[in-house]
Structure 1
Amino acid sequence: MKILVAVKRVVDYNVKVRVKSDGTGVDIGNVKMSMNPFDEIAVEAAVRLKEAGIATEVIAVSCGPAQAQETLRTALAIGADRGILVQSDDELQPLAVAKLLHAVVKQESPSLVIVGKQAIDDDSNQTGQMLAALADMPQATFASTLVIADGEATVAREVDGGLETVAVKLPAVITTDLRLNEPRYVTLPSIMKAKKKPLDTLTPATLGVDVAPRLATVKVAEPAARAAGIKVPDVATLVAKLKQEAKVI
């Protein structure tokens, strides 16, 4: 069984992002970049399936600039067998990424596609669902457990009322939640081995995909600063302020 895993290069989750002075976006100059944490969980899930003898090959795919090769090398160091970079310096919105991944899926014909449920930069939570629709595959989102057996993927997903378990026929698209696993620490020998693994580069043009943006960002602004709190002498004053000033009761 072949597994395709999508990974995205994003600003590292430890970095405090800064909004550009002109409000057109986030300043990523000289900022540490890394693999999207949800995608790292997806790679770990795929590699564990291979180690269990369920999968035969794990392919990591990324769409973005040439620097995304570093993200793919990290996926290879975790245990993916080869990487594919769809190189583009244009803005890639979720629909464009889903179309590019669909083109790669048609080339590779994987039995399972695993992606992170969302990216921590835009939090769109759309790419996996759009890919499933384009590829006409069943989908199971927000997976907190994943079991592959008898041509089916059984997924437990957290919902408001508890846990929901769904089973989908393969090939299918799975999106991963935080509780699915804890990604392994990438060792130096694994990083060195990853440098020797194959990494192919494609372009949207070679895949025949139009990646023109469908949405326009009007403005990006930082959240409003939180107002300083005050102390009140007694409960009666607190209740009065909640009624008259905050108007929450």
Structure 2
Amino acid sequence: MKIVVCVKQVPDTATKIKVGADAKTIDSDGVEYVISPYDELAVEHAVRIKENNDDVEIVAVSMGSADSDKILRHALAMGADRGILIENDNSCDSFVTAQSLANAIKEENPDLVLCGVKAVDDDCSQVGGILATLLEVPFIWSAAELSYEDNKVTAQNELAGETYTVECELPCVVSIQKGSVEARINSLISIRKARKKEVNNVAATTSEAVMQTEKLELPAAKVGGRIVGEGPEAVAELFKLLREEAKVL
């Protein structure tokens, strides 16, 4: 059995982001990059399937600049067997990203493809579905729990307060969200071993982007609030300010 896990390099959520000079990209100076947390969970699910089954190979695939090798090594330290880096220095939309991933994945002919439900930088949640369409296989979206048995995966998720279960025979694509599973912390030994594992660099094979970024800007700075009074006596003044000053009533 072969499992491909798609991983993306994203800015650490604790990093303070600045807009670049072109107003279309972020200023990467001083930005710390990490593996997208939902993709990291996808790697964890793949490794757990491998630990409970014989003859399972995990291939981590990422598209990005040469320094994306860092997150591939992270996936390899978690338990992936080898990595593929699709080199592309350009900013890509969801379709182009999925197309490049699909072209590389088709060469692997995997039984199961896992990815995060979304990347925490753009929050699009589109690549998994597009990827499944391009690979012409079923797609399970946003699985919080995932298990494998007898050439079939079972995914569970919650919707409107209810738990629903989806079963699908392989091959298929599954996007992973947060659930009871937590990503393991890599040990020093696993990090050292990951340095010796194979990472194959390939050129991106993509078409022109179908979506363009017109402008990137930070949210407006929040204005501090003020106390207009205490108790029921403050209600009238509050409504007056909301109507005349904030103009939300």
| TM-score, scaled to structure 2 | 0.92
SS of residue in 2 equivalent to 1:19 = coil
Give the residue type in structure 2 aligned to 1:218. Answer: E
SS of residue in 1 equivalent to 2:209 = coil
- The size of the alignment, in residue pairs, is 245
Q: What's the counterpart of residue 216 of structure 2?
A: 220
Give matches, 1:153-164, under 5 Å.
Answer: 153-164=153-164
Q: Do residues 122 (structure 1) and 118 (structure 2) align?
A: no
Q: What's the counterpart of residue 231 of structure 1?
A: 227
Task: Provide the C-alpha distance between the structure 2 equivalents of 1:240 and 1:92, rounded to a whole number of angstroms.
Answer: 48
Task: Provide the C-alpha distance between the structure 2 equivalents of 1:219 and 1:247, rounded to a whole number of angstroms.
Answer: 28
Task: Provide the C-alpha distance between the structure 1 equivalents of 2:236 and 2:115, rounded to a whole number of angstroms.
Answer: 53
Q: What's the counterpart of residue 7 of structure 1?
A: 7
Q: What's the counterpart of residue 81 of structure 1?
A: 81
Q: What's the counterpart of residue 66 of structure 1?
A: 66
Aligned-pair RMSD on alpha carbons?
1.8
Q: Quick check: 1:7–1:115 contact (8 Å CA) kept in 2?
A: yes
Give the residue type in structure 1 aligned to 2:168. Answer: V
Task: Provide the C-alpha distance between the structure 2 equivalents of 1:44 and 1:152, rounded to a whole number of angstroms.
Answer: 18
Give the residue type in structure 1 aligned to 2:154. Answer: T
Q: 1:54 to 1:158 in 2, by over 3 A?
A: farther
Q: What's the counterpart of residue 95 of structure 1?
A: 95
Q: Quick check: 1:242–1:248 contact (8 Å CA) kept in 2?
A: yes
Larger deviation: 209-218 or 164-173? 209-218
Shift of 1:199: 1.1
Q: Do residues 145 (structure 1) and 145 (structure 2) align?
A: yes
SS of residue in 1 equivalent to 2:144 = strand
Shift of 1:70: 1.1
SS of residue in 1 equivalent to 2:153 = strand
SS of residue in 1 equivalent to 2:196 = coil
Give matches, 1:189-200, under 5 Å.
Answer: 189-200=189-200
Q: Do residues 175 (structure 1) and 171 (structure 2) align?
A: no
Q: Once the two structures are superposed, what CA deviation does each residue of 1:159-197 show, in whole Å capped at 9, x if it has no partner? A: 234322211221110101022521111111111000111
Task: Provide the C-alpha distance between the structure 1 equivalents of 2:156 and 2:171, rounded to a whole number of angstroms.
Answer: 18
SS of residue in 2 equivalent to 1:62 = strand
Q: Quick check: 1:64–1:85 contact (8 Å CA) kept in 2?
A: yes
Q: Once the two structures are superposed, what CA deviation does each residue of 1:104-151 show, in whole Å capped at 9, x if it has no partner? A: 222111111000111111111110000011111111111111111232
Q: 1:226 to 1:183 in 2, by over 3 A?
A: same
Q: Quick check: 2:93–2:212 contact (8 Å CA) kept in 1?
A: no
Q: What's the counterpart of residue 17 of structure 1?
A: 17
SS of residue in 1 equivalent to 2:213 = coil
Task: Provide the C-alpha distance between the structure 2 equivalents of 1:246 and 1:163, rounded to a whole number of angstroms.
Answer: 42
Where structure 2 has 5 or more consecutive residues not aligned to the other structure, the ranges are: none
Task: Provide the C-alpha distance between the structure 1 equivalents of 2:101 and 2:56, rounded to a whole number of angstroms.
Answer: 20
Q: Quick check: 1:36–1:120 contact (8 Å CA) kept in 2?
A: yes
| TM-score, scaled to structure 1 | 0.92
Task: Provide the C-alpha distance between the structure 1 equivalents of 2:248 and 2:54, rounded to a whole number of angstroms.
Answer: 55
SS of residue in 2 equivalent to 1:27 = coil
